[in-house]
Amino acid sequence: MRTLSYMQAIAEALILEMRRDPHIYIAGEDVGKFGGAFGVTGPVFKEFGPTRVLDTPISETAIIGHAVGAAAAGLRPVVEILFMDFLPIATDELCNQAAKIHYMFGGQVSCPLVVRTAIGAGMGAAAHHSQSLEAWVCHIPGLKTVAPATPADAKGLLISAIRDDNPVVFLEHKMLYATKGEVPEGDYTIPLGKAEIKQEGKDVTLICYSAMVRQCLAAGALLEKDGIGAEVLDLRTLVPLDKEAILSSVAKTGRAVIVHEACRTGGFGGEIAAVIAEEGFATLKAPVKRVCGPDTPVPFSPVLEAEFIVSAPKIAEAAKSLL
């Protein structure tokens, strides 16, 4: 199977869907001729030009606001918010309009909108451009949240997100754009709400998503040297959440380590822990453990940023503590 980067896989998904459906268009800051800040939309603009890949003003309110109206009118916009840190600027448009429009109109109006946005630390971009705010959007009923870890998942999940009639926040970790992996040719979808076991194991379940999947796989390799079998469960989609996969894996291993880069307090890991406590407590052999970012802004200093980011050794140490 051919190999693509995470960035190329996303671009391919956009191109395939825009060829299939003329109602789909892209909008955002510098997504046109410039190709987007991370270069994702360059190939898309090359094929479809400025009529379907639209540069917008530097206004998150305008970007999300116009897309809600366009989606309600029958189009299927895919908009880019450069950094997730700036998504809260459009809180009303995203959380009070896009998320609620189908409910408020009694099902008569849909909002098939995808918001692509970059999350995560690791680039030395400091506190204003490095946050992972997935727990915030997961808290809003009516929004779906997707966080792929591999190029193949990014392509399949983005196609599913575009075809979904609900607003979807599609999270792309900056440190994944250059990573490569096998990606199937042509059109395929991965269902929203379906987790995947990336590595089988019998002793402890590492529950993760986005860039932390790579760290958990590395932690699994470290644990294997000590004879510990770690099962790596990639959630892929946070809303809807594959509770069945979580509970099944934890029942198998009896131990759970929940891993995310976002700050610990109020992080999505707390929701996962609650699911296990409420519906899988009897299967546990040890308390649930969380390995998360600290409750601080992301530092600019490379040394401090490296300490902020969850690493494979930290995950492995947490897993060992449960054994």
| Residue tagged 């291993």 (tokens) | 253
> Which are the contacts of 323, defined by CB distance < 8 A and separation ≥ 6?
203, 204, 228, 255, 286
Whether residue 129 lies in the annotated active site: yes
DSSP notation for 223-276? HHHTT--EEEEE--EEETT-HHHHHHHHHHHS-EEEEEEEESTT-HHHHHHHHH
- Dist. CA 6–CA 178, nearest whole Å: 6
Which one, of 133, 154, 297, 124, lies nearest residue 237 by Cα? 154
For residue 185, the surrounding DSSP H or E stretch is: none
Query: How distant is the alpha carbon of residue 187 from its chain centre?
Result: 21
Residue linked to tokens 């792929």: 148
Reference 66, options 38, 35, 34, 90; nearest CA is 90
Residue from 169, 142, 8, 187 nearest 88 by CA: 169
Tokens coding 302 = 């490379």
Q: Which of 129, 139, 173, 260 is catalytic?
A: 129
Terminal Cα-to-Cα distance of the chain (whole angstroms)? 39
Cis amide leading into 287 (omega within 30):
no
**Which of the residues are catalytic?**
129
